[in-house]
Amino acid sequence: MMQGWIQIGLTLIIILAITPIFGGYIARVYLGQRTFLDRVLNPVDRLIFSLSSVQPQAQMTGWQYARAILFSNLAMAILLFLMLMLQGFLPLNPTGLGAPSWDTALHTTISFMTNTNQQHYSGETTYSYFSQMLGLGFMFFTSAGTGIAVAIAFIRGLTGRPLGNFYVDLTQAITRILLPISIVGSIVLVAAGTPETLAGAIVVPTLENPNISQSIAIGPIAHFEIIKELGENGGGFFAINSAHPFENPNGLTNLIQILAMISMPTSLIYTYGVIADNRKQAWLVFGMVFIIYVAFIIVTAVGEYQGNPLVNSILGSSQPNLEGKEVRFGWAQSALYAVTTTGTMCGAVNAMLDSFMPAGGFILLSNLFLQIIWGGQGTGTAYLFSYLILAVFVTGLMVGRTPEFLGRKIEKNEVVLTSFLLLLVHPICVLFPGAITLAFPEQLGGISNPGFHGLAQVVYEYASAAANNGSGFEGLADSQPVPTALWWNLSTCFSLLGGRYVPIVALLLLAEGMSQKQPVPFTTGTLRTDTVLFTSVTAGVILIMGALTFFPVLALGPIAEGFQLLRGA
Amino acid sequence: MISENLVTIWQVWCRRKYPTYLFLALCLNLVFASTVFAATGDAFSRSQVYALGVLGIGTVCLSIYLFVVMFQPERF
Amino acid sequence: MKINLSNIKPVPRNNRYARRDTPTAALEGLYQRAIRDAFRKLDPRIAVGNPVMFLVWVGTIVTFLVTLDPNLFGTVQADPNQQRLLNGAITIILFLTVIFANFAEAVAEGRGKAQADSLRSSRSDTIAYKLLPDGAISQVNSTELRKGDRVIVKIGELIPADGEVVIGVASVDESAITGESAPVLKQPGTDIASSVTGGTKVVSDELTILITADPGQGFIDRMIALVEGAKRSKTPNEIALTVFLAVLTQVFLIVVATLSPLANYVNTPVTIAILVSLLVALIPTTIGGLLSAIGIAGMNRVAQFNVIATSGRAVEACGDVNTLILDKTGTITLGNRLADEFIPVNGHSVEEMAAVALAGSLFDETPEGKSIVQLAEKLGAKIDFSRTQATGVEFSARTRMSGTDLPNSIEIRKGAIDAIRGFVRSRGGTIPSKFDDAYEQVSKLGGTPLGVCKDGDLYGVIYLKDIVKPGLKERFDQLRRMGVKTIMLTGDNRITASVIAQEAGVDDFIAEATPEDKIDVIKREQSQGKLVAMTGDGTNDAPALAQANVGVAMNSGTQAAKEAANMVDLDSDPTKLIDLVAIGKQLLITRGALTTFSIANDIAKYFAIIPTIFAAAGIGTLNVMGLKSPQSAILAALIYNALIIPALIPLALNGVKFRPLTADQLLQRNILIYGLGGVIAPFIAIKIIDVLLPIA
């Protein structure tokens, strides 16, 4: 048992250590300060800008920035969709895969474009190397870069700067942050034992009967893995994702994957501190999320460690719940990985989330509902600071002034955008399709588990789509050619798009509005937002506003399931 | 003469927009409720389905009303 | 009038306005009228204006329908009579919730109306004598008067509308608006004394008045409209809060609307009545029901301070003010300088000088003169001549001296240093160097030196001192703690100004200020993003009053100043600006506190309702309050939800207690009371109601 906790503790310490280093680096990149990669990358950037005729100095308004995101993403989506549909005619297709069904291709396109990587297919039997490497791999970088660009534009707006230029921010996110780390990271992963090859599946005779041969799928995995984690993408090369021994062979690769997926969202909070010149606030906000994160890990890990009471009563002793887990990771690393992947909206898994105990299921769902226990690439950080704005609005009146955040008054527009963004989009994208599916479970759902767990599966699927996470509770008949796949593919597209672009547009308009406000000078009558008191108030607002909305769902899902299990039914 | 009357009736009709909306909602319900009725089978009686349909449309109207409040709060 | 900032009461003591306008009869009728209004507000066209309550109202209709027929929306398993009973109870409670919220608003409006009624009585249509261009006089109704008309008002008549005196001198009784019983002299030409207000009464002579306001636009009309809440438009803050409440309501509407399929899927169906109850319990009914009452009550509080605000926006802006610009004279100091010390020269003793000063000020009716007499008498000085045989010499701008001619043709003079010096020389006296030292010393202290002489004999210098109003320093300290900076404006020189500034404890001062400086200071502060409040009365204050975010004109001031300002103080007390800041803050705090309280309540309501209605799903353990049954839990939560509205009406109307603390202290305090209290209180209250409810 101690070993498990030590693994978790060490990982947390490393996270604490890299946050300021990495966060500081991102801030330097976006403040236009000198970084060690400048000499190599400045000419590259210039080449990219001149080839794409982007004027790097041109500032964008919030709406222009949003339009740039929407149109560039649309163009990329069309390209990817065509690529997937035509993969039969394209090279690098050693296994000779044909075109997927149109709805699967559409869902895959939208899912990867929105940085979600929800997969209603098995990678190794659906998409060719060309589709995976060039098509999906391309989206790995651009969708993650889009998220970073949004976060940076948002931070700039909050601190009263012009928002910047989307194309420049996106390019720099890829060339300065994602690519360099991915190159180094994939080499480390290869060294640690992850395969990287363009050869087709390996055909070997089985051990039991040498006359029967089996083919073992392999491919260019290492470079795919690192950006999968770093960009909070999470779409696995193989169907079982990071539980596959080729994707995640050992404890070292597992550690690297956890660090890769959590490093961006944690560091972006610090980046805010540097750009806003208020590191104290950054650390307080970081601390608030960190405490919730650790609490979530503990609840999940304890649940897994104690195991299933029904199984324990048969065994006669308490054993960890290892069903759906890789023995090489055990309960501790599986729990840590699961809380991290749902918190950061990565969505990669090294154990089947469906098999977690109800306590874990509760936490994983809560992560998807809250969306800020680190949160998605860039957007999570922006949500976090939007929550600060909301908390300022709700409680700030109590100091007898119009609420202010960073010296800027929170007025009607800010309230419309923040409350819409934080409170309304998610319930609409999760509860509506969820309710429709559960109203017609046979016709639409194809749910493997009836009762409370089935409800959790359905809600999880939409929550994962709307939060742009991509992991699944599985057990849903959502892959072609089953009849319910069409409904799943199309209805999750609604959640994917709504959960991605509505908040992004709202965030950018919010940032634009904040940047244009005349700052009010700070006095003793101004509410300080960088205090322990205010940060605790924010935590309260997050829990009441973010979690209470979904309390009935949690009660009818994992909570009811947990009590059911305790009663021994 | 008749055309004039028709015009007058049409104008009165246009002015009374709330009854129009109500009428359209009930028409919509006719379609909506029948679908629900067909889908649920024996669980509900015909009148219950119509009542549920009205309730559903009412809820959607309330939701639209709340969106109007959100984006044009000055009107309230 | 002196009000302690830290202890604002709804009706301040010693308030002339309050004395005039709290007839008990009006208050008795208030509640009856409010109850009538509460039902009148059920009209959907009115109810639609309050989104949260409108939803409750619609919910009431739905639960009423399922009371009539429990199987309306689907066959219910339970005994239909029992269902009918439960649904009926829910309907009644929801209906009461709406009524309570309407009642809160109606009471707030009613209190405003009570104030307005007494004003309206003075405004009732009067007959006006309009002066036609050809010199003829025609009798018209006061409502027919337009801007630019001239009217003649004789003794005993009401002035028909706001205007300027163009001909005549008369005393006017303004008690109808100021509560001040002493009549005021009105005459043309002078800035302050020429403006008259509609509804006031001429008590001597006759005036010709140029009307400056169209009917319905005058002060009284504006005041009536505002205190009644009739023409109330939402303030920016209220609008933001309305949006927020609409979003919350929308969220919970979605949560509840989608709950039914989820519950059916896990075989724990819920009835429509229970879903409506859950919705009503979750949406922020407390703040939704009290929001408009808080706003109206804020306006009333301003009116009770005898200030007319032209908009709620201005009242709210008071809370946000960063900088107060205050005139020295009349605001920070008592209007007049008072004698503080006699500094004798030429070998005279203080007593000798006091006697001369007393003699010289005998006929001086100015406050300065009276204060000299007072000081001299305190020092034991007496006059040694018959008062009737002496004659007073009045101050004139030319001589810059005043004094007394004694019977034996001795002339005593006091006045500006230069003038006295000239007078002494002309009488053959000499000026000792000590005299110059004395007056320089007085100047350095920020005082005004007055020379005193008896013929050619120079007696010394009287030290006239500016007296800072008592208690001001403490209030400026409080303002500083709240983050409000004070800037003093004065025409005095730098030295004088700095002495007074230090004594009064203002943060900054502008010496030798011209009216133009005022507007420059405002613009400078505003360019730094600050909100500025100021008071003014003269015509040349008008641009600055218009520029300031909160401009308070004195009622004694000119029409131009009043037009430019967004508030008018009927008592003409410039110090009231400080009280207005407190009222503005109190208004915002009340709104924030009730919002926080309302939202924090949701936790308890969730824990009361969800575990009990989904008891079939086996989550009964979450029923931490141990409520008896689903029916009892729902009714208890709804009863709490309904009763908390009337319980908080006094708080909404009177405002939360305001303390001049820093923002962090205020947040800490209010979060504890309204945030944490809002989480805990409903747990206790719902449990108690559950125990008291006579159902299983």
Q: Say which of C37, C162, C221, C327 is annotated catalytic.
A: C327
Q: Is the pLDDT of residue A165 over 60?
A: yes
The predicted structure's pLDDT at residue C27: 61
Q: Which amino acid is present at C215? A: P
Residues in chain C closer than 8 A to B47 (CB atoms): 72
More confident call, C498 vs A385: A385
Q: Is C345 exposed, middle or buried (0-12, 13-18, 19+ CB in 10 A)?
A: buried
C49: nearest CB among B43, B51, B76:
B76
DSSP-derived letter for residue C134 is T
Asked whether the beta carbons of residue B71 and residue A412 sit closer than 8 angstroms, the reply is no
**Residue C277 contacts residue C86 (beta carbons within 8 Å):** no
**Residue C461 contacts residue C435 (beta carbons within 8 Å):** yes
The predicted structure's pLDDT at residue C28: 66
CA distance C161 to A12: 76
Residues in chain B closer than 8 A to A420 (CB atoms): 70
A419: nearest CB among C244, C319, C482:
C244
Strand C411-415 versus strand C401-405 pairing type: antiparallel
B73 touching chain A per CB within 8 A: yes
Q: Mean pLDDT for chain A?
A: 91
Chain B interface test: which of C243, C248, C270, C313 (most B C-beta within 10 Å)? C243
Instruction: Work out the minimum CA distance from B11 to partner chain C, whole angstroms.
Output: 23
Q: Is A149 exposed, middle or buried (0-12, 13-18, 19+ CB in 10 A)?
A: buried
Residue that has been written with the tokens 């039969």 in this structure? A88
Is the residue at A257 inside a domain? Answer: yes
Is the residue at A438 inside a domain? Answer: no
Strand order in the sheet with C391-393: C333-344, C457-468, C448-454, C411-415, C401-405, C391-393
More confident call, A257 vs C554: A257
The model's pLDDT over A335-349, given as tens digits with 9 standing for 90+, comes to 999 999 999 999 999
Tokens of C466: 């500016």
**A347-A348-A352 Cα angle (round to 5):** 100
Is the residue at A166 inside a domain? Answer: yes
The predicted structure's pLDDT at residue C464: 86
C72: nearest CB among B51, B58, B74:
B51
Q: Which amino acid is present at A375? A: G
Residues in chain B closer than 8 A to A412 (CB atoms): 73
Q: Is the pLDDT of residue B64 over 80?
A: yes
pLDDT grade for A29, boundaries at 50, 70 and 90: very high
Which of A544-558, C94-108, C329-343, C474-488 has the weakest average pLDDT? C329-343
C247 touching chain B per CB within 8 A: yes
Is the residue at A191 inside a domain? Answer: yes
Which of A436-450, C79-93, C629-643, C670-684 has the weakest average pLDDT? A436-450
Q: Is the pLDDT of residue C7 over 60?
A: no
Q: C429-443 in b/e burial notation, b at 16+ Cβ within 10 A?
A: bebeebbeebbeebb
The predicted structure's pLDDT at residue C670: 92
pLDDT grade for C2, boundaries at 50, 70 and 90: very low
For C186, half-sphere exposure in the C-beta direction (CA atoms, 13 angstrom radius) is 33
The predicted structure's pLDDT at residue C122: 55
Does residue C327 carry a catalytic annotation?
yes
Instruction: Work out the minimum CA distance from B9 to partner chain C, whole angstroms.
Output: 25
The predicted structure's pLDDT at residue A271: 96
Tokens of A203: 């055909």
Report the 10 Å Cβ neighbour count for C8. 19
**Residue C362 contacts residue C373 (beta carbons within 8 Å):** yes
Report how far apart, in Å, the C-alpha atoms of A317 and of each of A302, A310, C366, C677 are: 16, 11, 101, 45
The predicted structure's pLDDT at residue C9: 34
Residues in chain C closer than 8 A to B67 (CB atoms): 250
Task: Find the mean pLDDT for residues A392-419.
Answer: 90
Please name the helix (run of DSSP H) or strand (run of DSSP E) that holds residue C195, with its range, or none: strand C195-196
Q: Mean pLDDT for chain C?
A: 84
**Residue C247 contacts residue A420 (beta carbons within 8 Å):** yes
pLDDT grade for C26, boundaries at 50, 70 and 90: low
Residues in chain C closer than 8 A to A396 (CB atoms): 592
Is the residue at A368 inside a domain? Answer: no
Q: Is the pLDDT of residue C8 over 60?
A: no
CA distance A48 to C150: 78
- CA nearest neighbour of A242 among A372, A337, A313, A170: A337
Instruction: Work out the minimum CA distance from A437 to partner chain C, whole angstroms.
Output: 9
Q: Residue A247, SS3?
A: coil
Which chain C residue is nearest to residue A459, measuring alpha carbons? Answer: C262
**Residue C333 contacts residue C468 (beta carbons within 8 Å):** yes
Q: Residue A197, SS3?
A: coil
DSSP-derived letter for residue C6 is G
Interface of B with A in 33-52 (CB under 8 A): 39
| Number of structural domains found in chain A | 1
- CA nearest neighbour of A388 among A248, A250, A289, A240: A289
Residues in chain C closer than 8 A to A407 (CB atoms): 529
Q: Is the pLDDT of residue A451 over 90?
A: no
Is the residue at A415 inside a domain? Answer: no
Asked whether the beta carbons of residue A398 and residue C592 sit closer than 8 angstroms, the reply is yes
Asked whether the beta carbons of residue C72 and residue B63 sit closer than 8 angstroms, the reply is no
Q: A472-506 in b/e burial notation, b at 16+ Cβ within 10 A?
A: bbbbbbbbbeeebbbbbbebbbbbbbbbbbbbbbb
For C82, half-sphere exposure in the C-beta direction (CA atoms, 13 angstrom radius) is 10
Report how far apart, in Å, the C-alpha atoms of C657 and of each of C5, C579, C676 are: 11, 14, 18
CA distance A266 to A263: 5
B66: nearest CB among C51, C62, C233:
C51
CA distance C231 to C645: 25
Alpha-carbon dihedral sign for residues B67, B68, B70, B71: positive
Q: Is C41 exposed, middle or buried (0-12, 13-18, 19+ CB in 10 A)?
A: buried
Residues in chain A closer than 8 A to B71 (CB atoms): 416
The complex scores an ipTM of: 0.93
Instruction: Residue A265: give the domain boundaries.
Output: 23-277
More confident call, C675 vs C171: C675
C257: nearest CB among B48, B59, B76:
B59
A556: nearest CB among C239, C252, C614:
C614
Chains interfacing with B (3 or more CB pairs < 8 Å): A, C
C672 touching chain B per CB within 8 A: no
Chains interfacing with C (3 or more CB pairs < 8 Å): A, B
More confident call, A424 vs C661: A424
pLDDT grade for C16, boundaries at 50, 70 and 90: very low
Query: Quick one: how many helices (H) and strands (E) in chain C?
Result: 25, 22
Is the residue at A50 inside a domain? Answer: yes
Asked whether the beta carbons of residue B70 and residue A412 sit closer than 8 angstroms, the reply is no
For C521, half-sphere exposure in the C-beta direction (CA atoms, 13 angstrom radius) is 27
Residue that has been written with the tokens 């009361």 in this structure? C608
CA distance C200 to C185: 12
Strand C448-454 versus strand C457-468 pairing type: antiparallel
Could you report how far apart the first and last alpha carbons of chain C are, in Å? Answer: 59
Instruction: Work out the minimum CA distance from B4 to partner chain A, whole angstroms.
Output: 47
Asked whether the beta carbons of residue A412 and residue B39 sit closer than 8 angstroms, the reply is no
